[in-house]
Amino acid sequence: MIPLAVICAVPLVVIAVTVLGAVVALATHLDAADLAAVMANEETLFAIGLSLRTSLVSLALALVLGIPAAHLLARHRFPGKAVLETLLDLPLVTPPLVAGVGLLFLLGRQSPVGGGLAALGIDLLFSPAGIILAQTYVAASIVVRTARTAFQEVEPAYAYMAWTLGLSPGWAFLLVEVPMAARGLATAAVLGWARALGEFGATLMLAGATRMRTETLPMAVYLNIASGETGLAVACALILLAIAFALLLVVQALSATRPGPRAA
C-alpha cells in the first residue's frame, strides 16, 4: 500500500514545480547583460519609483485605518459585527477589476461623491492619487484581517491591568496591546505592502495605464507585453517577483518567532 505521505507529496511536487517553472522561465528569458540594460531604462526606473512611493503611502493609510478597526473587531461585540467583517473581507475575494469599476462609478463626476469632490477641486481619478486609492482599498482588508488576529492573540487581561494602574484605554492600547501584538502587526504591514505593490486591476480602472504617469510595475508589465516590449515587461516582472519573495521571507521569519507571553 502506498504511504499517505507519498500520495500527498505528489500534488505538492506538481504545485512546486509549476511555480518554480514559471519563475525560472522568466529569469532565463533575459541574460545578465540585457537585464542590466533594461533595469537602467528610464521607464523601468520610473515604474519602480512610482510603485515604491504609492505603495508606501497606501500602506501608511491602510495601517492608520486598519489597526484601530482591527482592534475594535477583536475586542468588542456589537450588532451586525459578522456582516461588517464579511464586508471588510469582500476586497479579498472580489476581482480587483470589479472593485475598480465600483470605485470608478463611486468617484466619477456623475456620482454625488465624485461630483462633490470635483466641486472642491479634488480629482482622484487617472492620476497617482487613483493609484493610492486602489492600493489602499486592497491593502486595508489584509491589514484588518491580519491585525485582528494579532490582537485576538493578546489576552485582554493585560489591558485591564494597565487600566487599574492608571492608564487610559487609549494609552493602554498604544503602550501595552500594540507592542504585544507587534509581530502580528508587522506581518499585517508586510502582507499589506506586498498586496499594494502588486495591485493591477483596480489601479487600471481608477488611474488608467499611461506611460510615465500612472505606470507602476504591474502596469509596466501590462503595457510592455501589449506593445511587444518583452524585455521591459520581463524586467519589471522579475523585480516584482524579487520583492514578493523577499517580503514572504520576512513573513516566514515573523511567523517562526515565538509569540509573546499570554495570561494563564
Helices 128-152 & 96-107, crossing angle to 10 degrees? 120
Torsion (CA) 106, 108, 113, 119 in degrees, nearest 10? 170
How far is residue 173's CA from residue 230's CA, in Å, rounded to a whole number?
Answer: 50
Give 28's pLDDT tier (boundaries 50, 70, 90): confident
Query: Mean of the pLDDT values across residues 126-138?
Result: 94
What local confidence, expressed as pLDDT, does residue 183 receive? 93
For residue 263, pLDDT over 80 is answered with: no
Question: 217-251, pLDDT tens digit by residue?
Answer: 999 999 999 998 888 898 899 999 999 999 999 98
Task: Give the highest mean pLDDT range of 105-109, 187-191, 236-240.
Answer: 187-191
110 burial via Cβ count (<10 Å: 0-12, 13-18, 19+): exposed
Residues 6+ apart with CB under 8 A from 88: 69, 141, 144, 145
Q: Please name the residues in contact with 167: beta carbons below 8 A apart, sequence gap of 6 or more.
A: 175, 176
- Higher pLDDT residue, 36 or 173? 173
The alpha helices in 28-125, defined as continuous H runs, are: 32-39, 42-75, 81-93, 96-107, 112-119
Tell the burial category of 229 from Cβ atoms under 10 Å away from its Cβ (0-12, 13-18, 19+).
middle
Q: Is the pLDDT of residue 34 over 90?
A: no
Which residue is listed with cell 491585525? 147
Length of the chain: 264
Q: Which amino acid is at 99?
A: A
Residues 6+ apart with CB under 8 A from 263: 155, 157, 158
Look at residue 262 in the predicted model and tell me its pLDDT: 47
* Contact assessment for residue 138 and residue 99, using Cβ atoms and an 8 Å cutoff: yes
Classify residue 176 by its DSSP letter.
Answer: I
Query: Among 237, 258, 241, 243, which residue's Cα sits nearest to residue 38?
Result: 237
Picking from 58-62, 155-159, 237-241, 252-256, which range would have the lowest pLDDT averaged per residue?
252-256
Instruction: Decide: pTM greater than 0.85.
Output: yes
In degrees, rounded to 5, the angle at the alpha carbon of residue 91 between the alpha carbons of residues 87 and 97 is 135
Cα angle vertex 207, ends 40, 188, to 5°?
Answer: 80
Lowest-pLDDT range of 11-20, 226-235, 251-260: 251-260
Lowest mean pLDDT among 42-51, 53-62, 120-129, 178-187: 120-129
Q: Residue 139: its pLDDT value, please?
A: 96
Q: Of the ranges 37-41, 124-128, 142-146, which is most confident?
A: 142-146
pLDDT in tens, 84-104: 999 999 999 999 999 999 999
Mean of the per-residue pLDDT values of the chain: 91
The Cα–Cα gap between 174 and 170 comes to 6
* Each residue's pLDDT tens digit, 114-129: 889 888 888 889 999 9
